[in-house]
Amino acid sequence: MGQHFIDYFAYLMVRTLVAVVQVMPLDMADSLCRCLATVLSRPQGLRRKIFDQNMDLIFPAATSGERQTLCRAMWHHLLLMTCEIAWAARRLHLTNWPTILRLRNNRVLLRQLLSDRPTVIVTGHFGNFEIGGYLFGLMGFPTVTIARRLDNQYVHGYVARFRGTHGQFMVEKEGCAALIDRHLSRGGAISILADQHAGPKGCWSDFLGVTASCHKALALFTLTSGAPMMVSGTVRQGRPMYFEGGCFAVADPRVDRAGVCRGVRELTGWYNEQLAGLIAPAVEQYWWVHRRWRSPSKKKAKRQVDPSAVNPCPSTTFPDAARESAA
């Protein structure tokens, strides 16, 4: 009973904050997020140890000032992302979404989603992926999304209702394989966050220049069902509630069976490479407080990772794009 009371109190706090944010002007919320980001990005700030560990791996030559700048910009993005999610239900509608989202490769996107073939959509903890899923449903393309259940049952129900407003159906990742197979066999679309740590039994592949464990199921969904894999993202463009999204790359097993679709390792490496290219121009919109990279055991690393196939860190210096976008 005590835990239920704590969870419900936390839920009420979340609903109160959402109500406050929903009535805020965009510029006021943006300024507030910048102020809070300054606090959260302090050396003793929230999840700073994980952030620094990721910086040691991806940008080892970045100075302390550059790290601090990126950390502040990342927190600003994450806070603003939550505001945009709160605004979506009131400010994002069927009549105004073209003024909020600029579609990339819209012909390829629509051709795929309107076909009778299934689709596997992969994205990552980058940009505002929640708005991306919301917009897919708003445009009439409902998806099944695999996600972990939140610990707070009341908050989980609230988030599930938001995601399902326009037909985005959520399933828990444990034991969902049979449901996903049935959905794909009927020509449905699934959406997956591809940058989740898969543990020691995952497919070890290069991501942003560092080896990471990836779930084999993502590639298997495409290879076993014949569904094209589409890399998608929803990237904020300079100001709140304005994005570029759509289709950034497609791998079709019917067309490229001898190329990237010839096996799990090749397809996994392909979508990681595409996601890395999507992240590079806007590194501050990636969740650098996400524990993506965890070292495999020596035995696993020797057996599953070919050292000659792993690229070195993509840059020995902090990229100029990061400085400009984080400023």
Residue 137 parent element (H or E): helix 129-138
Angstrom distance (rounded) from CA 11 to CA 21: 15
pLDDT of residue 297: 57
Based on the structure, what is the number of domains in the chain?
1
Question: pLDDT averaged over consecutive 10-residue blocks of the chain (327 residues)?
Answer: 87 93 93 96 92 95 95 97 92 88 89 90 93 86 82 87 76 78 89 91 94 93 93 93 93 86 95 96 95 73 45 42 45
> How many angstroms separate the Cα of 192 from the Cα of each of 73, 146, 219, 313?
25, 6, 11, 26
C-alpha to C-alpha distance for 327 and 324, rounded to whole angstroms:
5
The structure tokens 């999507």 sit at 278
For residue 258, the model assigns a pLDDT of 75
Determine the Cα–Cα distance for residues 6 and 2; give it in Å rounded to an integer: 6
Using an 8 Å Cβ cutoff, are 232 and 248 in contact? yes
Cα 273 versus chain centre, distance: 14
Domain range for 262 is: 2-326
pTM (2 d.p.): 0.86
Supply the pLDDT for residue 308: 38
Q: Interior CA angle at 91 toward 87 and 96, to 5°? A: 140
Query: What tokens appear for 100 in the block?
Result: 């909020």
